[in-house]
């Protein structure tokens, strides 16, 4: 009997994997290391210091952009996750029918269309609304980020639903539970890790977005990524490295929290 194929046993697999990890993480390590550089150069090491972290903390523009980014990401991720949950339930808790595949494609459209195309379309669409209404607040950025984040929240939620055992939901229905009560008492607790994964993924995607934000934002509405992009156009200092390091720590913290919460849920 032929042995099963295992990619890990193929010649050169370990070497190629190590090269890929090295190429992926070496630039990140370099950014983190130079965030602690005492000098003003991002290429010449002049000693260890927390100078640039203190400077970023006391930079009003960085603080304002950070708070704006967190506000937009929180609202966009929450709304996107709610919409994605309803869409996932509607497309998985039903029998296949003509047009279901088209709905999948429609929901995942932001993933298939280049982001620059989506950004230009949103720019044209929102510019007309701005002219008609005279409103130019953060609502446009929140709406744009929400629309872009929906498929990112949808995919893990749908994957969780498709892998769930339907017997508990069927048993709840047999015991005369209403659809809402069955969802609240049975489906939602089982679906919670998927919802949390979708929420965190949508939050990180929104927090990190540059292209759509750059096209949709009005004057004085810089988020942290667009602020950093603007600094690259002027002068580059290790302050950018410090901000990037904090971003990295936030991402690691989010992934760690999700890991422990999901593991706890799976053990219950």
Distance of CA 24 to the CA centre of its chain: 19
pLDDT at 262: 66
Q: Report the 3 state secondary structure along 244-260.
A: HHHHHHHHHHHHHHHHH
The span from the CA of 23 to the CA of 131, in Å, is: 47
DSSP-assigned letters across all residues of 148-183 = HHHHHHHHHHHHHHHTS-THHHHHHHHTT--HHHHI
Rg for the chain, CA atoms, rounded = 23
pLDDT at 1: 46
CA atoms within 13 A on the CB side of 218: 12
pLDDT at 213: 92
3-state secondary structure of 234: helix
Tell me which H or E stretch contains 144: helix 139-162
pLDDT at 266: 58
Q: Report the 3 state secondary structure along 5-20.
A: CCHHHCCCHHHHHHHH
Diameter of the chain measured on Cα atoms: 73
pLDDT at 212: 92
Is the CB of residue 122 less than 8 Å from the CB of residue 216?
yes
pLDDT at 6: 67
DSSP bridge pairs for 48: 37
Write out residues in the chain with pLDDT < 50, as ranges: 1
- Across the chain, mean pLDDT equals 84
pLDDT at 183: 79
Which CATH number is 60-267 given? 1.10.3720.10
Question: Which residue shows structure tokens 């939050």?
Answer: 203
CA 163-168-172 angle, to 5 degrees, is 140
pLDDT, tens only, 37-82: 888 877 778 888 888 899 888 888 888 998 999 999 999 999 999 9
């Amino acid at each position: 009997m032929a042995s099963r194929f295992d990619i890990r046993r193929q010649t050169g697999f370990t070497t190629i994997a190590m090269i890929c990890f090295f190429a992926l993480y070496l630039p990140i390590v370099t950014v983190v290391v130079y965030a602690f550089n005492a000098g003003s150069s991002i290429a010449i090491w002049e000693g260890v210091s927390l100078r640039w972290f203190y400077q970023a903390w006391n930079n009003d523009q960085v603080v304002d952009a950070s708070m704006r980014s967190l506000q937009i990401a929180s609202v966009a991720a929450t709304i996107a996750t709610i919409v994605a949950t309803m869409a996932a339930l509607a497309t998985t808790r039903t029998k296949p029918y003509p047009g279901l595949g088209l709905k999948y494609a429609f929901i995942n459209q932001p993933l298939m269309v280049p982001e620059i195309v989506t950004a230009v379309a949103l720019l044209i669409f929102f510019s007309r609304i701005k002219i008609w209404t005279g409103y130019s607040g953060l609502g446009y950025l929140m709406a744009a980020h929400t629309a872009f984040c929906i498929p990112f929240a949808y995919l893990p939620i749908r994957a969780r639903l498709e892998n769930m055992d339907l017997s508990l939901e069927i048993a709840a229905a047999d015991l005369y539970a209403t659809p809402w009560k069955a969802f609240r008492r049975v489906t939602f607790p089982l679906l919670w890790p998927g919802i949390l994964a979708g929420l965190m993924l949508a939050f990180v995607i929104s927090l990190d977005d540059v292209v759509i934000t750059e096209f949709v934002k009005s004057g004085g509405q810089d988020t942290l990524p667009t602020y950093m992009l603007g600094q690259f156009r002027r002068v580059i200092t290790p302050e950018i490295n410090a901000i990037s390091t904090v971003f990295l720590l936030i991402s690691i913290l989010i992934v760690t929290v999700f890991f422990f919460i999901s593991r706890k849920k799976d053990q219950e």
